[in-house]
A and B are shown apart, each in its own frame.
Chain A
Amino acid sequence: MKAYVLGEFEREQPLYDAARALRAHGHESLDIHSPYPLHEADHALGLKRSTVPIVALVGGLAGAITGYLLQWYTVGHDWPLNVGNRPPHSAPAFIPVTFELGVLFASLAIFVGLLAGYFGFPRTHHPVFEVEAFRSASIDGLWLSAEVEGKDAEPVAQELRRFGARNVSIVPEAK
């Protein structure tokens, strides 16, 4: 069973040190929560490039191709339609719908992709919110959370305390 280990830090440096130490022990599923942007956090967490742009690009291209083929098949091929005596297959007239469907599919791909692939739908809220003290993540606290196997939870909690974390809590993933 998975669990989340949370710890609150007062200053940035111990937070980054703790994140790097946990990664050195092989715990890669880390996250940092803070009330303001931390530019160093990306490096400390060893974040790889996000896959969201690829999801958006594939969605957008799929939408554009769908939009064009839909128009070509319906009014250009299956049931040729004479609009203002232009040829049934008129590329310029098809571009606006092609473009719009590309935008629509790209944004839907991001939305559905984030919901399902990143936020773990149908989970409605993240387990870390179970911890009352975690409220300070949007006020003045810097939080490190680690997603670990249940048996690793206690050693990771020890490690966080060693770097000076307060309010160290272990939250099991609700099933």
Chain B
Amino acid sequence: MTLTPYQGGRRLMAPALVAAVAGLALTAVGGLVDPRRALFAYLVAFVYWLGIALGALILLGAFHASNARWPVVLRRFVETVPAALPLFAVLFVPIALGMKHLFVWMAPPETLAPEMAHAVHHKLPYLNAGFFLGRAAVYFVFWIVVAHLLRSWSIRQDSAGGATLTRWQRRLGAGSLPFLALTLTFASFDWMMSLDPRFFSTIFGVYWFAGSFMAAFAVTIIAATLSRPDPTAFGHHMSLEHFHSLGKFLLAFTAFWAYVAFSQFMLIWIANVPEEVPWYILRIDGGWKWVGIFLALFHFVVPFFLLLSRDLKRTPRALSLVAGWLLLVHWVDLYWLVMPHLDPAGPRPSLWDLAAFVGVGGAAVAFTLFRLRGASPVPVRDPYLEDSLRYLPQ
């Protein structure tokens, strides 16, 4: 199989770039008008889009760790989504600059409740500006290096061929998984869980991962469907069997998200410990209650029963609609996770939410498309490509 390098994506890149500039500029204006609100909106957008890149990186590692043959045809796309990670390292700068507006432990006010002040003081060795930024640097360096090596070895194989580069990818992909899990968990502790210094939940990172991993499948499904008519893109080479399998994964990780969300909720609810339970009281009492119920129904129950259908999973357009819906409710999920610390009484959606979402998202989409160009859309000389192309699961 020989393929010309992918040169498409221009039609989507231009509007994405416009959205990025407009959205980020508007968020910057918001930063001047109401820095706290704009930064919270930006944080939600940042963890949303970064989570998708990390989800794709873990998916790639899992493909290599399991020596999977079927996804080879779509692996180049999964390799390129994490190639946006250097962009996210740059997009982290506003969060680093605005830390004192986001995190109460940065500059605890005198009026802080005693138990909160105690928690802030107790966690000072971990939650302080220097260590926080140092950790962020370690996470990003690790993520960027792993993503870069896996992708560049794969691209080098397009011209070099042979099995050696496959072996390297298998080793790094599998070997990096435990460290990806740890860095992702600690990143979620730092950037989201520490918004309430009292709260701690060891499964918190898995919660962020579950939604993000599902979103990475959703993005892959949508990209594959969009690129199906284009013979120079990866979606063109995929069969309905590939879509069916991606749909099964989407179903599985919708259920996994619900499982993790409920596990975290039920343990804290049933233990009813004063340190943990306020975090949930904020989210299941008052104005945020309806968001929580919405998530249970539309992030789990409805998509779960829709995705049970075999016909739906084998109809790329229908599957993409469900995937798009899940991408939307995943944003609601992260909004519900972060925003109650800004608006304890209930959701108060603002223009800055939309601006930040579109701004960070536009930048991520444009940058990913830019990195897709110039390389073959499919790993053409991967030894398992033939197996992937005639994939027939039973």
Contact = CB atoms under 8 A, between A and B. Distances in A.
Interface in A69-120: 84, 86, 92-93, 95-96
A56 to B, nearest CB: 10
A125 B310 CA distance: 32
Given A57-B308, A84-B272, A96 B394 contact: no
A93 B394 contact: no
B: interface residue count bin:
10 to 19
A39 interface: yes
B262 interface: yes
Contacts, number: 20
B394 A37 contact: yes
Nearest to B266: A92
Interface string A27-59: 000000000010100000000010001000100
B113 interface: no
A143 B103 CA distance: 70
Given A37-B394, A39-B392, A92 B308 contact: no
Contacts of B262: 92, 95
Nearest to B263: A96
A96 B270 CA distance: 12
A92 B394 contact: no
Contacts of A86: 270
B126 interface: no
Nearest to B308: A57
Contacts of A84: 270, 272
A7 B257 CA distance: 50
A29 to B, nearest CB: 22
Contacts of A92: 262, 265-266, 269-270
A: interface residue count bin:
10 to 19
Contacts of A39: 392, 394
B374 to A, nearest CB: 37
Interface string B266-298: 100110100000000000000000000000000
Contact of A96 (B266, B269, B308, B392): B266
Contact of A93 (B266, B308, B310): B266
A87 to B, nearest CB: 12
Nearest to B305: A57
Nearest to A85: B272
Nearest to B284: A92
A78 to B, nearest CB: 22
Contacts of A57: 308
Nearest to A83: B270
Given A57-B308, A84-B272, A95 B394 contact: no
B272 A95 contact: no
A103 to B, nearest CB: 12
Nearest to A93: B270
A47 B151 CA distance: 43
Contacts of A95: 262, 266
Interface in B222-275: 262, 265-266, 269-270, 272
Interface string B47-66: 00000000000000000000
Contacts of B269: 92
A26 B310 CA distance: 29
Nearest to A37: B394
A82 to B, nearest CB: 14
Interface string B370-394: 0000000000000000000000101
A57 B305 CA distance: 10
A93 B268 CA distance: 11
Contacts of A96: 266
Interface in B43-86: none
A38 to B, nearest CB: 10
A39 B262 CA distance: 40
A161 to B, nearest CB: 31
A95 B272 CA distance: 17
A37 B394 CA distance: 8
A79 to B, nearest CB: 21
Nearest to A38: B394
Interface string B129-144: 0000000000000000
Contacts of B272: 84
A95 B267 CA distance: 12
B262 to A, nearest CB: 6
A30 B154 CA distance: 47
6 contacts: A57-B308, A86-B270, A92-B270, A93-B266, A93-B270, A96-B266
Interface of B: 262, 265-266, 269-270, 272, 308, 310, 392, 394
Given A39-B394, A92-B270, 14 more contacts: A37-B394, A39-B392, A49-B310, A53-B310, A57-B308, A84-B270, A84-B272, A86-B270, A92-B265, A92-B266, A92-B269, A95-B262, A95-B266, A96-B266
